[in-house]
Amino acid sequence: MPSLPRFSPLIKSLSNTHLKMVITHYFPIFAIFFVISLLSTPASAHLYSGVEDTEGISNDWFPEILRVEAVARLTELGKVSDADGYLERTYLSPASIKAGNLIRGWMGEAGLRTWVDQMGNIHGRVEGMNASSRALLIGSHLDTVIDAGMFDGTLGIISAISAVKVLNVNGQLGKLKRPVEVIAFSDEEGVRFQSTFLGSAALAGVLSVSALQIQDKSGVTLQNVLNENYIEISEESFFQLKYNPESVWGYIEVHIEQGPVLESVGLPLGVVKGIAGQSRLKVTVRGSQGHAGTVPMSMRQDPMAAAAELIVLLESLCKHPDDFLSYDGHCKGITVESLVGSLVCTVGEISCWPSASNVIPGETTFTVDIRAMDDMGREAVIYELSNRIHQICDRRAVSCSIEPKHNANAVACDSGLSSQLKSAAYTAMKRIAGEVSNDVPVLMSGAGHDAMAMSHLTKVGMLFVRCRGGISHSPAEHVLDDDVWAAGLALLSFLETQL
């Protein structure tokens, strides 16, 4: 990048007056050269090493739009927050409205017709050659968690807008053989109303109308929030949000991986084969509350020690399901092998009563989160876990209850869309790096995404983008500029198959 050393010999040789004149008259010219050189400066080509530098980039594949501008927009959105000092953008908050307006402006500039629906989702659509054909939907979410990173959700929206913009600049937007619609969903994280996928579930027709009456922490209902933002919604208009499945061809989504696999294999993009099903349980263990100094160890009914044993049991069961489950008996027909690769189990929250250092607790409660691609396998794990929990509790003379809190089946991505996304990702990597010796990795998503809700409406496909250290839901979340470029190029390549 041009900087002081390049100009300093010239400046040194001038008097103060001359210097002022040079600065006054020529600074704007220098500034323009500086900006042009920034835009055209060769940047990183270290696609596979994950190293960013400023050499060796090809200008053939729209780096100004797909890399420089996309990164600038992601950075700009990353500053649109309701909080000071960290990123927080929950459903229809002032920052969400501001982010939505920015996104809508960028959609319009990319040649899309835009509108906001009655759940606050932002849409941008182009009809292409045949407005009555089934539409390709491309989306992700604009809301964030609290103290979020700037790529989760927004990367999918910005990549889509950038890819569409390239088609527009090239005069190809009107040549699409089917309508293409980019959607920025208003809520995926579920922070404000503790109900995920409000935006996409409404379009997919799987959100209950009773959701309009759920309240946030301050007692404001979803309907109130919409009304406050000049969005009138009735039960009747709520049902009209649902897309007709006959009008939709498919849904694709680009999202950061939020895990370490792509980084570990050194590739920027991967194809998602499916989104894991998920169960959440609440386990309560009740024992005998007592004095920490006076109750002999042999006479205790300690729910904390019991909970510890149960948590270790869960870890063992999920690490080695093949040691616990068999092909006969209750899990007959389950492919235990299919669980081994995808099963993950977590205890993320634990509490006890009365929670004092000199008291044997009377009650301990903990959560269990179980995810797997195989729904029957997940059910078999829960069945086995429940049996063994009760056995351990009986042996320890404590009482246990297991309460199911949430259940969602796994979603398989469409094989046709996945193979198209795979070749689009391959093309993108090849366009940036020249040669690609590796195959595009195929991954499972352990996290839920809007694609999960959209799968109730149409076939879905997803692309994952490498993120540093696999870190997400954190300000440390980071995607290389080159990987932002790769994501935009992959979507562009996918859209080229629709011409």
Contact residues for Zn ion, defined by CB under 5 A: 152-153
Q: How far apart are CA 380 and CA 375, in angstroms?
A: 9
Shortest Å, Cβ 141 to Zn ion: 6
Q: Which is nearer to Zn ion, 107 or 275 (CB)?
A: 275
Q: How far apart are CA 120 and CA 140, in angstroms?
A: 13
Q: Which is nearer to Zn ion, 153 or 259 (CB)?
A: 153
Q: Which is nearer to Zn ion, 153 or 250 (CB)?
A: 153
Shortest Å, Cβ 189 to Zn ion: 7
Shortest Å, Cβ 153 to Zn ion: 4
Shortest Å, Cβ 462 to Zn ion: 11
Cβ-based burial of 95 (10 A; exposed 0-12, middle 13-18, buried ≥19): buried
Shortest Å, Cβ 461 to Zn ion: 16
Alpha carbon of residue 498 to chain centroid: 25
Residue 146 DSSP class: B
Q: Which is nearer to Zn ion, 142 or 331 (CB)?
A: 142
Alpha carbon of residue 466 to chain centroid: 12
The owner of tokens 């503790």 is: 194
Q: Which is nearer to Zn ion, 153 or 179 (CB)?
A: 153
Q: How far apart are CA 284 and CA 403, in angstroms?
A: 8
Shortest Å, Cβ 447 to Zn ion: 7
Q: How far apart are CA 493 and CA 254, in angstroms?
A: 13
SS3 content of the chain, % helix, strand, coil (to 5): 45, 20, 35
**Residue 266 region, left (φ>0) first, then alpha (ψ -120 to 50), else beta?**
left
Q: Which is nearer to Zn ion, 271 or 451 (CB)?
A: 451
Shortest Å, Cβ 253 to Zn ion: 9
Shortest Å, Cβ 256 to Zn ion: 7
The distance between the two most distant Cα atoms of the chain, rounded to a whole number of Å, is 93
Shortest Å, Cβ 472 to Zn ion: 8
In order of 8, 20, 42, the CA distances from 17 in angstroms are 16, 5, 36
Q: Which is nearer to Zn ion, 153 or 199 (CB)?
A: 153
Q: How far apart are CA 104 and CA 112, in angstroms?
A: 9
Residue 210 DSSP class: G
Shortest Å, Cβ 195 to Zn ion: 15
Q: How far apart are CA 229 and CA 259, in angstroms?
A: 36
Tokens of 189: 């994280």
Given a contact cutoff of 8 angstroms between Cβ atoms, the answer to whether 47 and 486 are in contact is yes
What lies within 8 Å, CB to CB, of 86 at 6+ separation is 146, 147, 148, 475
What lies within 8 Å, CB to CB, of 339 at 6+ separation is 321, 325, 372, 374, 377, 378, 381
Q: How far apart are CA 304 and CA 363, in angstroms?
A: 8
Q: Which is nearer to Zn ion, 152 or 482 (CB)?
A: 152
Shortest Å, Cβ 88 to Zn ion: 15
What lies within 8 Å, CB to CB, of 167 at 6+ separation is 111, 173, 176, 492, 495
Q: Which is nearer to Zn ion, 179 or 199 (CB)?
A: 199
Q: Which is nearer to Zn ion, 153 or 277 (CB)?
A: 153
Helices (H), 259-298: 261-265
Q: Which is nearer to Zn ion, 290 or 475 (CB)?
A: 475
